[in-house]
Amino acid sequence: MKHSELKEKALKNKTVQVIYDALEPEFSLLRDLLNARQKTGISQAEIAERMGTKAPAITRLESSLSSGKHSPSIATLKKYADALDCHLEIRLIANN
């Protein structure tokens, strides 16, 4: 079974759909981080060096957003953005 087929099947379950939807902000941020890193062509090791840390910390940071096991601090996300010569923008949007 392909990933897309498994995802489609799982999301037919209402409970799974609710949990999946709740994780959208983390998934969106992860996509943004990975896209920015890909655009710049910078490796995890180079980001780590620019942030003053080690490559495994960057691996944990990127994987933590997809697993939902850890929420990185705003300061860490800002350092990551700075390492990519990007800026971090966080907004609060009312649900209307």
Q: What is the pTM of this model?
A: 0.75
Q: Provide the 3-class DSSP secondary structure of residue 31.
A: helix
pLDDT at res. 24:
83
31-46 pLDDT, tens per residue?
A: 899 999 999 999 999 9
1.10.287.610, 1.20.140.10, 1.10.260.40, 1.10.357.10: CATH of 24-96? 1.10.260.40
Interval 19-31: pLDDT, tens: 888 888 878 888 8
Q: Where are the domains of the chain?
A: 24-96
Q: Please, what is the average pLDDT of the chain?
A: 89
Instruction: State the Cα–Cα distance between residues 49 and 78, nearest whole angstrom.
Output: 15
Predicted confidence at residue 50, as pLDDT, reads 95
